Structure 1
Amino acid sequence: MATSTRKGSSVVATDLNFWLTALVVGITIVLWASARLPEFITALLFFTAAMLLKLAPASSVFSGFASSAFWLVLSGFVLGAAIRKVGLAQRWANYLVVPMSQSWPRMVAGTVLLTYLLAFVMPSNMGRIALLMPVVLAMGERAGIKAGSRGSIGLALAVGFGTFQLSASILPANVPNLVLSGAAESAYQLHLQWLPWWVLHMPVVGIGKGMLLIGCLLWLFRATPTPVRQRDVLPGLSRSEWRLIGLLMVTLLLWMTDSLHGLPAAWVGLAAACICLLPRVGFLSGDDFTNGVNFRTCIYIAGILGVATLVVDSGLGRFIANALLSVLPLQDHPSFSNFAVLNALVSLMNFVLTANGVPAMVTPMAQELAQASGFPLLTVIMLQVFAYATPLLPYQASPVVVAMGLGNVPAKAGLQLCATLFLFSVLILLPLDYLWFRLLGYA
């Protein structure tokens, strides 16, 4: 009898723990979405509540601090600070400012194009943001766009959104892509390849997204740059600049060849950051480190990743997915309606799992979703890309959050662009994505 009582208590405790987890995760997401509190305070409150209520072991709650994404963010801040400190940001901006400062549309379009081109050779979202942000902002200041102005905010968001959203069309250039690829290989022995991926996603997620992003930026963030007719005459490269260029080239080379040597981009970036901070060898002092690293954003990133881990480990993600699947209005044959419904499912999952966690949860369910919708298995797997590359709120995409931190972008401005892009993407790009899938025989 005692055994039965203990077993019943265990079930009740498990149920209570599950619903407490749902409550804490829900409140955390609402606070991030509404920006009622600074994002890092919300993250700290999440850590506190999860540990006090014993929702999960510390290894799960604080898993964000052990994640490679956290350390890539931190190292990105350090590299960005070093680029600014030695003057390389100003020097590179001096080369870009003449062709790009002639008009605001050219400056915005050029920045978005730079984010996409760099994605072909540099696999890390965070690394690309850390490299581009100081250069683009310095270019803006050179053209008379003051820090903190609407124009400066627009340029920072062009770097963040261009880096994350457009790179989803390139297989190794985006963390959620790699999660999806690994999950597909693990669950179904599907080996996704670079060229078919790019051909399928480049027209809509690459080119279409880029054009829509440029249009939204020009509409929401207006500025009038002062056209620069001639580059400044700068002195020759200093010894510090040469050394930092060498370090960045080695770092970039290791990032580009990670598939050959197996060193994750995060640890390569962390090693480069450590070199930047070494006395006499590096470029930054202790004060430079304190001032150059946005610890608020780092804590926020750790909180996002901790929430995603808790959702998966607690079974909340699977519960939500199954609940949604039971009410989805899916027809038993392929149609645009089914395509839109499946995209909506991934978008809803994005609220609790964020972009990095969505493919890990949805991909193992792809077989059931394929049977219910009539689409081939590969189609269900691949349509996730458009959905997780189209977040409704900034917190759903950690690279966007990092870019907002590096560019000192107010939460309201990031939310405004994110929601606008989401709306126009659903209305304009989602039907085009379906038509392209059909044209290539995926639907």
Structure 2
Amino acid sequence: MPATPGRADSRTESRADAPTAPSAPPKPAPLAGRATDSIRAALLIAACISAVWIAGHAVGAPAALIWAGALVASTVCCWALGVLPEPTATLLFFLCAVVFHIAPAPVVFSGFTSTAWWLMFGGAVTGVALRSTGLALRLADIIFHKRVGTYPQVIATVAMSAVGLAFLMPSTTGRVLLLMPIVLALAERLGFGPGSNGRIGMVLTVAAASYMPPTSILPANIPNSVLLGAASSLYGINLSYGSYLLLHFPILGALKTVVLVWLVCRLFPETRTMAAQPAATRTAMGGQEKTLAIILALAVAGFATDAWHGVSPAWISLAACIICLLPGVGLVSTKALTEQVHLIPLLYVAGFLGLGAVVESTGLGTAISAALLHWLPLAPGHTVGNVGALGAMGAVLGLMSTLPALPAVLTPLARDLASATGLPLETVLMLQVPVFSTVFFPYQSPPIVIAMQLGGVGLRHGTRLCLSLAAITVLVLLPLDFLWWRLLGYLP
């Protein structure tokens, strides 16, 4: 993936889930290029430190708070702009936070003990099992067979496949990497060549449907998982899979999928006659596929009933992961675990969560909240205005970085925002979901960029779809979502 500004974690997720294959060693970058990148990173970090230092002294902030703000600002900018590789920026954050005593080590490294981290780890292992056993391809064949009669039917099937897979595979890029080759092969069989509306529509459907609607499914995306872990570690609030799904999925999941299908068919219409599909020949399901299907079915059932049994989705995911790794089961070998479950995205999520914990423990979150409360028109009893102001604040922050960073930045501010608005703390936490589910530009969601890259679709087409869908979301879906929240009693 190209290292494009604002796409810091696109490389993270792509490396996380991409199957490994023998290849020639990569050629090292020219020394001059590496030196230039290092200089850019140093200048950016120096600019962040200087800006925070000047602003901090202007408002009379204590030195400890200024240094904490400088570290957080530098780290977020390095992640967002991609001036340093993600693991380098994350490790640098860990090192500086500990060496300069910004926060205690247990706080800095708290991301590794969070439910979000273990949820991602379990999802990565089960994703490997899905690919290696062949169950993923079997599911794709079942989904697409005899469902390609018309172009809208093709787009609807692709969208529902991406959303449905989110219930089984809690990795956005994993779903993209799994579906994209299948969808591209289907496009070729249907006669949709490179550059055709049909191919563009199918690729962008995979891109958007793999990220946007699954934000309403708790363990399906990185922002969801970061929110889950941060809410638990900072406030002791354990988000329930079932209540989260009920609150978000009807509007931001199901209805948004319908709107996405309609919009793709309108923006990228395809009227040509599609080629006939050959009859599919299927083999009987093997023993490993049956075993994995049972494990996944039990895991999904455990996710859906967590409010009843009280076990976090993270530990259910970890249990499924352990079963896949058991020698007697043999779904994921030690070699596959080593080669296909990569450390970089796990390190990245730990960095996100650690940054949020540092913001909270240093008092930086309280200071930022005070500044925001001074500027934002927040007041108890003005629900519509409060919700709109919080959403606008989140949208602006989301435009300045990638969306996975939002929960790490906003969650430490939630308690003060709840006090200012008079809304329950859990409601303020849940108000992040409509924000990070709304993508204005492709760079905000690295998996969307990965999908477009794999499918050979240009930025112009992706931006056109994202802006159009964001406009409909803001004007139609979010007001409906507001009414749905009121009906469920989350908003007064």
Superposition TM-score, scaled by structure 1 size: 0.71
Preserved contact between residue 357 and residue 412 of structure 2 (Cα < 8 Å): no
- SS across alignment from 1:143: helix
Aligned to 1:62: 109
Specify every segment of 5 or more residues in structure 1 that has no aligned partner in the other structure, as ranges. 1-11
Residue in structure 1 matching 2:406, options 338, 351, 354: 354
Preserved contact between residue 119 and residue 318 of structure 2 (Cα < 8 Å): yes
The count of residues paired between Structure 1 and Structure 2 equals 410
Task: Provide the C-alpha distance between the structure 2 equivalents of 1:209 and 1:105, rounded to a whole number of angstroms.
Answer: 16
Aligned to 2:31: none
Task: Provide the C-alpha distance between the structure 2 equivalents of 1:137 and 1:64, rounded to a whole number of angstroms.
Answer: 31
Aligned to 2:351: 303
Pairing of 1:396-415 with structure 2 (within 5 A): none
Task: Provide the C-alpha distance between the structure 2 equivalents of 1:416 and 1:367, rounded to a whole number of angstroms.
Answer: 37
1:354 is displaced (CA, Å) by 2.5
For residues 266-307 of structure 1, give each alpha carbon's deviation from its aligned partner in whole angstroms, at most 9, with x where no partner exists.
Answer: 122222222222335322223212332232222211111111
1:210 is displaced (CA, Å) by 3.1
Task: Provide the C-alpha distance between the structure 2 equivalents of 1:225 and 1:252, rounded to a whole number of angstroms.
Answer: 39
Letter in 2 for 1:237: M
Task: Provide the C-alpha distance between the structure 2 equivalents of 1:315 and 1:307, rounded to a whole number of angstroms.
Answer: 12
**Percent of residue pairs identical:** 29
1:355 is displaced (CA, Å) by 2.4
Specify every segment of 5 or more residues in structure 2 that has no aligned partner in the other structure, as ranges. 1-56, 190-198
Aligned to 1:321: 369
Seen in structure 2, the aligned counterparts of structure 1 residues 75 and 407 have a Cα distance that, compared at 3 Å, is: farther
For residues 70-102 of structure 1, give each alpha carbon's deviation from its aligned partner in whole angstroms, at most 9, with x where no partner exists.
Answer: 111111111111111111111111111224545
Aligned to 2:211: 160
For residues 232-287 of structure 1, give each alpha carbon's deviation from its aligned partner in whole angstroms, at most 9, with x where no partner exists.
Answer: 21221112222222222232232222223222221222222222223353222232
Seen in structure 2, the aligned counterparts of structure 1 residues 334 and 197 have a Cα distance that, compared at 3 Å, is: farther
For residues 352-383 of structure 1, give each alpha carbon's deviation from its aligned partner in whole angstroms, at most 9, with x where no partner exists.
Answer: 9732663563255334324xxxx999987875
- SS across alignment from 2:83: coil
1:112 is displaced (CA, Å) by 3.6
Seen in structure 2, the aligned counterparts of structure 1 residues 251 and 321 have a Cα distance that, compared at 3 Å, is: same
Seen in structure 2, the aligned counterparts of structure 1 residues 393 and 179 have a Cα distance that, compared at 3 Å, is: farther
Preserved contact between residue 77 and residue 406 of structure 1 (Cα < 8 Å): no
Seen in structure 2, the aligned counterparts of structure 1 residues 178 and 30 have a Cα distance that, compared at 3 Å, is: closer
Seen in structure 2, the aligned counterparts of structure 1 residues 255 and 16 have a Cα distance that, compared at 3 Å, is: same
Preserved contact between residue 43 and residue 300 of structure 1 (Cα < 8 Å): yes
Letter in 1 for 2:292: L
Preserved contact between residue 125 and residue 341 of structure 2 (Cα < 8 Å): yes
Task: Provide the C-alpha distance between the structure 1 equivalents of 2:405 and 2:366, rounded to a whole number of angstroms.
Answer: 11
Letter in 2 for 1:293: V
Task: Provide the C-alpha distance between the structure 1 equivalents of 2:357 and 2:419, rounded to a whole number of angstroms.
Answer: 23
Structure 1 vs Structure 2 CA RMSD = 4.9
Q: Are 1:262 and 2:262 an aligned pair?
A: no
Residue in structure 2 matching 1:97, options 130, 137, 144: 144
Aligned to 1:340: 388
Pairing of 1:11-160 with structure 2 (within 5 A): 15-102=62-149, 105-114=152-161, 127=170, 136-137=179-180, 139-144=182-187, 155-160=206-211
Seen in structure 2, the aligned counterparts of structure 1 residues 406 and 231 have a Cα distance that, compared at 3 Å, is: same
Seen in structure 2, the aligned counterparts of structure 1 residues 48 and 197 have a Cα distance that, compared at 3 Å, is: closer
Preserved contact between residue 415 and residue 425 of structure 2 (Cα < 8 Å): no
- SS across alignment from 1:127: coil
1:416 is displaced (CA, Å) by 5.7
- SS across alignment from 1:233: coil
Residue in structure 1 matching 2:256, options 209, 220, 231: 209
1:35 is displaced (CA, Å) by 2.6
1:311 is displaced (CA, Å) by 1.1
Residue in structure 2 matching 1:235, options 260, 279, 283: 283
Q: Are 1:284 and 2:335 an aligned pair?
A: no
Aligned to 2:421: 369
1:325 is displaced (CA, Å) by 1.0
Task: Provide the C-alpha distance between the structure 1 equivalents of 2:391 and 2:408, rounded to a whole number of angstroms.
Answer: 16
Letter in 2 for 1:267: W
Seen in structure 2, the aligned counterparts of structure 1 residues 61 and 393 have a Cα distance that, compared at 3 Å, is: farther
Letter in 2 for 1:358: L
Preserved contact between residue 116 and residue 226 of structure 2 (Cα < 8 Å): no
For residues 381-436 of structure 1, give each alpha carbon's deviation from its aligned partner in whole angstroms, at most 9, with x where no partner exists.
Answer: 8755533543668998xxx66898899979x97x9699746566446545665677
Task: Provide the C-alpha distance between the structure 2 equivalents of 1:127 and 1:176, rounded to a whole number of angstroms.
Answer: 13
Q: Which moved more, 1:248-257 or 1:359-368?
A: 359-368
Letter in 1 for 2:141: N
Q: Which moved more, 1:344-353 or 1:307-316?
A: 344-353
Seen in structure 2, the aligned counterparts of structure 1 residues 102 and 71 have a Cα distance that, compared at 3 Å, is: farther
Aligned to 1:246: 294
Letter in 2 for 1:250: L
Preserved contact between residue 162 and residue 179 of structure 2 (Cα < 8 Å): no
Letter in 1 for 2:420: E
For residues 94-129 of structure 1, give each alpha carbon's deviation from its aligned partner in whole angstroms, at most 9, with x where no partner exists.
Answer: 11122454566544433443565677xx5x9x6375
1:343 is displaced (CA, Å) by 2.2
Superposition TM-score, scaled by structure 2 size: 0.65
